[in-house]
Homo-oligomer: A and B are copies of this chain.
């Protein structure tokens, strides 16, 4: 899932939100420090309480407020409540509010390298992404990227591996991308475009009608939990996996650098540790909810679940490598981020194959485990 500025804010999921933004911005109080108590505002790119993503931002605000006993009180605003979704970074950069919550690829128009921090086609899974941030130099690189936007960066949630998307055409070989009209933003969109597809951007609220009319042949959103809620199964024939284009999408918490610098050490620690915890809690929620939603899609809505064939994935992998290499070669910081990911992913893949992946295979062999 990548949400685009114009599409998202005017779409059904956030309908009307932008309209009230200007009015709301003027009515909210300025941040206050009184008796060593700070009141911060967190703007988000998510519709208020949006499942998994918006609720992750809510948890972050709640944990910081509770851990600090209100000495740093964070109020969370949905997209459009103070500023439209994709003006969240501007609002934090210029100090209108202190912090924001979204996803790194939303800021690629400001600093190109941000999009590679979010997710890379055929890149790393969530566990590896986290290890890269914490022990592979990722945090330092991301901080350099966000400093260019006047912000401190924290990874603040992860969707885990997304789905490949919904298709009204069978996808058998790479040739099936020729002429395919697909809603798939971001780096995934660049890859399928290179494979011959036409990438279509439409507001969220028009996507289902476009699928039904045949104006588009395919669309990707998130995973079973969000896709079920969106009702995409009503207008699509096939549900393909895996989400090679977003194997683990990082959410971001970005904090105005002046506001960050001014915090005492204990509140800095509270903000940092709350983000580390939210990072895991959001992923845990997706893991738990996707399970149940997938069962509902298959058993109640008779969704035709299909794997992308290996031949097609091999070609997408090759094209992804070319596209990522081309896109990052022009910009030194993007190139540096990409090289760090390439290096970490190489070792992580080797270890992942003998640990998590081998275990997943072993667990799936034909035996009865514990019978109730």
Contacts and interface: CB of A to CB of B under 8 A. Distances in A.
A294 B370 contact: no
A368 B134 contact: no
A355 B290 contact: yes
Interface stretch (A86-94, A101-109, A178-186, A342-350): A342-350
B358 A135 contact: no
A135 B284 contact: yes
A362 B281 contact: no
A265 interface: yes
A63 interface: yes
B370 A349 contact: no
Contacts of A69: 264-266
A139 to B, nearest CB: 11
A194 interface: no
B351 A291 contact: yes
A25 interface: no
Contacts of A313: 362, 365
A33 interface: no
Given A307-B358, A370-B342, A66 B351 contact: no
B270 A359 contact: no
A61 interface: no
Chain A contact residues: helix, strand, loop or mixed? helix
Interface string A276-294: 1101110111011111101
A99 B367 CA distance: 41
Contact of A349 (B133, B243, B349, B363): B363
B66 A356 contact: no
A332 interface: no
Contacts of A114: none
B276 A281 contact: yes
A308 B277 CA distance: 35
Contact of A160 (B127, B244, B289): B127
Contacts of A353: 360, 364
Which size bracket describes the interface of A in this complex?
Answer: 35 or more
Number of copies: 2
Contacts of A364: 349, 353, 357
B266 A273 contact: no
A128 B280 CA distance: 11
A246 to B, nearest CB: 10
A249 interface: no
A320 B349 CA distance: 28
A367 B243 CA distance: 17
Interface in A115-159: 122, 125-128, 130-136
A354 B305 contact: yes
A336 to B, nearest CB: 12
A215 interface: no
A240 to B, nearest CB: 10
A292 B244 CA distance: 25
A352 interface: yes
Contacts of A243: 355, 359
Contact of A288 (B66, B136, B305, B369): B136
Interface in A295-344: 295, 305, 307-308, 310, 313-315, 317-318, 320-321, 324-325, 328, 338-339, 342, 344
Which 4 pairs show the lowest CB-CB distances between chains A and B? A135-B288, A291-B347, A69-B266, A276-B277
11 contacts: A66-B269, A126-B127, A135-B287, A136-B288, A160-B356, A244-B363, A277-B280, A318-B368, A321-B368, A328-B370, A342-B372
